[in-house]
Amino acid sequence: MTARILNGNAIRDQIYSEIHSQIQQLTAVGIWPGLATVLVGENPASKIYVNSKIAACEQLGLASSRFTPPSTVTTEELLELVCELNARDDVDGILVQLPLPPQVDSKKVLEAVDPAKDVDGFHPVSLGHLVSGRPGLVACTPLGVMEILRRSEVTLEGANAVVVGRSDIVGKPMALLLMHAHATVTICHSKTRDLAGVVRRGDIVVAAIGRAGMVLPDWIQPGATVIDVGTNRVTDAAEAERLFANFPERLAKFREKGSALVGDVHPDAVQVAGALTPVPGGVGPLTIAMLMSNTVKAARLRRMNSVMQPAAARKP
């Protein structure tokens, strides 16, 4: 058996088409959704991430603005910038790219973002809404995973779902979204007793632990749906041999480039799982797509009422 590959790029394109229509509806009533990104310093990986988000804005017709404080920025200076962006009516979403420099209190900065503009879904208010099942802005990666599952027609109601990883950004919100979809959810992590045995019980496995190829094929229940959230860059030749022994083309590319991207799930799991997201090309494209979706949603929630109220007031 070879797993059905859940193509994140194809699902992203479906969502982009829907977002484009939503943006047209908003611009027709004078609302131009806008995203502000804050990129501190010269971190190469962060630059790539922010550039990809700006490119997505341009592709969809979203307004975007970029702010690039130096790596010497203080917490107070960043708080002042966030305060300014909170006050700007043309900014619907604020994204503070992580990681921030060590001298900056990251939590303080993230909690300063207006919850109505928290398109990353990291604010305690956003998390509180998620816990209580109230509508709001949800962290982009877990939200993207739910879109993959829904659009791939994976049955969630009554399914045993195992989330490997307990981060505030992925693991915890992922578990809550699955619970709200009526799955029975187990959260596990590196300290879980008999981790392999717990994972093996999952009809759905979401791997978000940040360790290359940690989830081995014999951890997977035959036929399970496996969502691989991990993106790990492998540079060690012995590690590449372990991961790609049955994938000569990927091993050849590794030898050519000296590095390769791999998820948290061992590539051999494709022979056991019923469905599997690839790395790259699985969850990653959906994270950016849901950031765009959250920005449009934030614009609609924040500004539609103010646009519609004058019209409503004119009614007899």
Residues labelled catalytic: 53, 97, 120
Residues 77 and 109: their CA atoms lie apart, in Å, by 10
Beta strands across the sheet bearing 34-38: 63-67, 34-38, 93-96
Interhelix angle for 140-151 vs 171-180, to 10°?
40
Residues 190 and 63: their CA atoms lie apart, in Å, by 41
54 Cβ contact list (under 8 Å, min separation 6): 37, 64, 66
256 Cβ contact list (under 8 Å, min separation 6): none
* CA-atom Rg of the chain in angstroms: 21
Which tokens hold the place of 68?
A: 């690039």
The runs of H, that is alpha helices, within the chain are 8-27, 44-60, 75-87, 106-112, 124-132, 140-151, 171-180, 195-200, 237-244, 248-257, 283-313
